[in-house]
Amino acid sequence: GKLPVWMAAYGPKALALAGRKADGFILQLADPFLTEWMVKAVRQAAVDAGRDPDALTVCVAAPAYVTADDSPEALAHARDQCRWFGGMVGNHVADLVAKYGEHSDMVPEELTAYIKDRQGYDYSHHGRADNPDTAFVPDEIVDRFCLLGPAEAHVEKLRRLKDLGVDQFAVYAMHDDREGAIDAYGASVIPAVNA
């Protein structure tokens, strides 16, 4: 038998290794700009290693909060419930900034700029909607990194990511409306994306 090897990566060395060796690449964020940049890096590394870049499966994993509408109140609540994710990703980004510098041509500022006000991280709150160590994460990052809003907004963003080379999606329902997100994905989002 053969066990497929999947790698998660953000930085240039890890992205290159994923392209050279992995069967699948996991990207923990749903930002179209960064997805395009990272998928290109992984696929180019596969080509450079003599591999078929299309044989590598790409999975985007990010929180999904489905709202009844796109009112400012509904979106603000969704952002607050998913802000933890920007803090979690910020830990990896802080490592990249420490390695490559604050303004590096190796890592896009669209990934690194938001952690400038980060003051540390307490892992006892990791992956929780009420994480107090995520105040540094601006709304823009939550919007870019996560899937938020009515089901139609999720479908639109997932289709855009699919067009950028994403083969699979994994959504995190680590918030106050787990059942609602799962039900909305089953009833509306998955059928529309698969159509």
153 in any annotated domain: yes
Q: Establish if 49 belongs to a structural domain.
A: yes
Residue 181 belongs to domain spanning:
6-194
Asked if residue 28 is part of any domain, the answer here is yes
> What pLDDT, in 10s, does the model give residues 37-76?
999 999 999 999 999 999 999 999 999 999 999 999 999 9
Give the pLDDT confidence score for residue 50 in this predicted structure: 98
Residue 48 covered by a domain: yes
79 lies in a domain? yes
Q: Does residue 1 fall inside a structural domain?
A: no
Please state, in angstroms and rounded to a whole number, the distance separating the CA atoms of residues 46 and 40. 10
Give the CATH number for residue 174.
3.20.20.30
Structural domain includes residue 102: yes
pLDDT of residue 101: 83
How many distinct structural domains can be found in the chain?
A: 1
Residue 91 lies in a domain: yes
More confident position, 131 or 21: 21
pTM attached to this predicted model: 0.93
pLDDT of residue 129 exceeding 90: no
Q: Quick check: 146 pLDDT over 90?
A: yes
